[in-house]
Structure 1
């Protein structure tokens, strides 16, 4: 009977997400060069956008000025890996008891509502926190309006619970260059600077790359860290960034299909000519978008071919008719160095953020670090 270790070594499905950690470090350095003299929170929420928070934080351990996360669970993970880093809790505390945990973890804490403000002011035990008051400058998702920021500033400035008192906001349309709301949000933020805030943060990836006036004291690089672009009209290469994740698979079947025959669930794709169809070891249970339409690009042996038929749970199919002698075992890239994740996302009617964060746990990660 085969031992488990031997069975495991023989049974690896041909699908892997290769993560280039040196590219993460390169992209963080690009953010820092965009804002000379500024500090930067590396945004590592959502398991570092699907790349592996443990590995990304370790790679940036001696490079990043701080890290930003969405929830206390993520903050605790980062603190366990980095005893001294500033860790920004972007959505603040959801329950009053969490303020004590934030104190124990020595977090930088966003305060974005009256409920959160009251919870901080009621926290008498524990060390004072670095507080980031969230201004709703026009996105209308989280945060105080201008009057609310001024009132909260007055309540916190000399309170025992507050160490630094800082200001933060978030752009809604910085990825759409020239959008009028961006100018409005910047003006709204600047209107608050008559208050004596210690630090300020406004710039996400899009603003870091294209809006120097928004850089303030702390940058917040997110999607750019992972080698995807926030812009529809500027590529990763144009921005000086490097792709981080390459999602690689193989052809696991090659078959000939006659003109008029259909491929896949629902028979939604019908061959308009005698065709060669390849089956690829990746599906929507791995994170590839089920809604990707026929024609979405896939790379086979370094050549671009179109997706055909519906994406299945564990497989997808591509048209190999124009390739010379395709064979089982041929290399497939779903996205990565040869094919930008943003191009795949655009074809599927979504964004690179979603594709990267949806790569599921059953896809093994392989880490490279060429430093």
Structure 2
């Protein structure tokens, strides 16, 4: 079966990004590859294969369905950790499979104890504590009750970790808040140690905290966007670039998005192109029709804004992005023809369309643009 576009995922680029991360954090902390959002649009099964070949043995997901995808794709019996959503009725199966999960409220903790009792196998849990993000996590007022429950039911679980989530470490304006969170987490860790509760791993760092707050590295860092070759924000890079060289970028994008010209169309000066009147030709033009539209993740807000590469030349999107197609100006190309390769994201010749430029044009952050790429687009790993 042939598709209208395809994604190529570079294993070599992923290895290079891991090398940079390891050089930054040193030999001790374990790296957990965060694969939520279909591995940031790269494909969970593809990313797990690439990561395990590169030596990664720990994966973080948001939800239980993602965790099962990792389990299915893994060839190395890697650790799988759910940071967010699971259904309580799934707990016996998750515990039986050895899948680890965050516990951030008493409802889930009580359900985990009951499930562990029912199958005769301890749950592998991570205690998430509230330090100022105010989304999930046990608050300080819960600590006494929590420690009592843990002691009374210790045969029903293994405390694999204690953790928290930072509220925007990628932005300097949030850093006073992040430092307060770090202090609160240290106090929580000290409290549980005093109660003789010793988690196996301590972990707090996302990609941005890994780069900017070395005191958050502890035993494990949860690496998302950084592993895929992107800085959490431009500001994050600006804050560390003097440490790596202002003209150096050690990260490489994994993803290339390709399609092809479907057909060509001659348009005369004065004619409107596509739906409505968003574009009127001011001269005779040749348009190329590319079979990718907003149903494929190429947003309507790229209408009259986006660019693609054909023959190594930037070609502008003309008119409104349709559900399944875009029109691009190929007037400057020499003998364009149906079947010619079209680069939506990636390199062609001496030019490149980066995810950052793509995202800025469409007013999306990298994270949002990547995770909007539909699962149906075929993904192929290249070395």
Scaled by the length of structure 2, the TM-score of the pair is 0.84
Task: Please identify which structure carries the higher helix content.
Answer: 2
In structure 2, the residue matched to 1:193 is 189
Alignment of 1:50-65 (within 5 A): 50-62=41-53, 63-65=55-57
Give per-residue Cα distances to partners, 1:270-302, cap 9 Å, x unaligned. 234443322222112222222224222322222
The 5-angstrom pairing of residues 216-365 of structure 1 reads 216-233=218-235, 234=237, 238-337=248-347, 338-365=352-379
Give the CA RMSD over aligned residues: 2.5
Q: Which moved more, 1:238-247 or 1:322-331?
A: 322-331
- Residues 14 and 209 of structure 1: is their aligned pair in 2 closer, same or farther, counting only changes over 3 Å? same
User: How many angstroms apart in 2 are the aligned matches of 1:284 and 1:325?
Assistant: 28
Alignment equivalent of 1:32, drawn from 6, 22, 27 = 22
**Which 10-residue stretch deviates more, 243-252 or 329-338?**
329-338
Distance in structure 1 (CA, Å) of the matches to 2:22 and 2:249? 13
Cα 1:361–1:193, aligned 2, differ >3 Å: closer, same or farther? closer
CA distance in 2, matches of 1:67, 1:257: 51
Q: Offset of 1:67 from its aligned partner?
A: 0.7
Residue in 2 that maps onto 1:151? 145
Instruction: Name stretches of at least 5 consecutive residues in structure 2 with no aligned partner.
Output: 242-246
Bigger Cα displacement from structure 2, 323-332 vs 356-365: 323-332
Select between 113-122 and 123-132 the one with higher mean Cα deviation. 123-132
Shift of 1:163: 1.7
Q: Is the 8 A contact 1:258 1:275 kept in 2?
A: yes
Q: Secondary structure at the match of 1:141?
A: coil
Report the CA distance between 1:238 and its aligned residue. 5.0
Q: Which residue of structure 1 aligns with residue 37 of structure 2? A: 46
1:94 aligns with 2:87: yes
Matched residue, 1:21 = 11
In 1, Cα distance between equivalents of 2:96 and 2:335: 61
Aligned CA distance change for structure 1 residues 13 and 99 (closer, same or farther; 3 Å) = closer
Deviations 1:36-90 (A, max 9, x none): 1101111123332232222221222251131111222322232232463211111
Equivalence for 1:211 = 213
SS of residue in 1 equivalent to 2:353: coil
Tell me, in whole angstroms, the C-alpha distance in 1 between the residues paired with 2:143 and 2:354.
Answer: 41
Query: Mean alpha-carbon deviation: is it higher for 53-62 or for 324-333?
Result: 324-333
* CA–CA separation in structure 1 for the residues paired with 2:248 and 2:77: 35
Which of 127, 131, 143 is the matching residue for 2:125?
131
The 8 Å contact of residues 295 and 324 in structure 2, kept in 1 or not, is answered as yes
3-state secondary structure, aligned to 1:291: helix
* TM-score under structure 1 length normalisation: 0.87
